Structure 1
Amino acid sequence: MRTFRPACIARPSRDLAAAERFWVDGLGLRVLYRGAADGPGEHDLADRLVRACGTRVSAGPYWDRWGVTFADPDGYCLVLSTRAWSNG
């Protein structure tokens, strides 16, 4: 039997309702937390990640300028950023 570890996904969205339909209704994930902030690290999410065994790390000059990076207990990185995203 395969054992799966939980994964948390946090990202900005232009259309929160559409994103939630995709991730929750389509994929079956749950919304665990929803917050608003003016910038990375400017709300309690950063503190919550540290309390939950996350470690603040550097992901290089670009991400240090535009975001806050945390390593999870397995060493995988999560970058919180307020930078606009474009696939165009």
Structure 2
Amino acid sequence: MDAVKLRVARPTRNLDAVVRFYRDGLGFEVLGGFEDHAGFDGVMLGHAGAPYHLEFTVERGHEAPRAPSEDHLLVFYVPDPEAWAARVRRMEAAGFAPVPSRNPYWDANGRTFEDPDGYRVVLQQAAWSR
């Protein structure tokens, strides 16, 4: 049986800026992309072999809305403290400063960063045990 894979797809206001955030800040790889597919341009970012990736699209002639709230999150659990600290340093070195989380739970063991569209990514220094 094939493993289930997850694609999170959403529109963006600025494809170049959002690629820089996820590629340069979070270390994602560009896995693919397309131009003018029925009026859409897009890029897929992820990690080779991982069971998930992100797709960002721009619809030509249409401006995507910003995130509807500060609590729209992608959470990445990084259990190793050194690996977690390295990821936070990478984000900061790429020019992305942490922001306070809307839900203070995420600030206790993590750092939250806001992408160019207002969506937030939490780097949580913990293991996911479920």
Given the two structures, how large is their TM-score scaled by the length of structure 1?
0.50
Q: Residue 38 of structure 1 is aligned with which of 81, 84, 88?
A: 81
User: Which letter does structure 1 place at the counterpart of 2:128?
Assistant: A
**Cα offset, 1:40, TM superposition:** 7.7
**Structure 1 stretches lacking a partner, 5+ long:** 10-19, 25-34
More helix by share: 1
* Distance (whole Å) between structure 1 residues aligned to residue 50 and residue 127 of structure 2: 23
- Larger relative CO (CA 8 A, sep 6+): 1 or 2? 2
**Cα offset, 1:55, TM superposition:** 2.7
2:100 equivalent to 1:58: yes
Seq. identity, %: 26
**Structure 2 stretches lacking a partner, 5+ long:** 1-35, 54-77
Measured against aligned partners, the alpha-carbon deviations of 1:13-62 in whole angstroms (never above 9, x if no partner) come to: xxxxxxx46348xxxxxxxxxx9732685x22112112223231112210
Distance 1:63 1:73, change over 3 A: same
More strand by share: 2
**Paired residues for 1:1-88 under 5 Å:** 1=36, 2-8=40-46, 20=49, 22-23=51-52, 37-38=80-81, 41=84, 43-59=85-101, 60-81=103-124, 82-86=126-130
**How many residue pairs align between the two structures?**
65
Given the two structures, how large is their TM-score scaled by the length of structure 2?
0.37
Which is higher, the Rg of structure 1 or of structure 2? Answer: 2
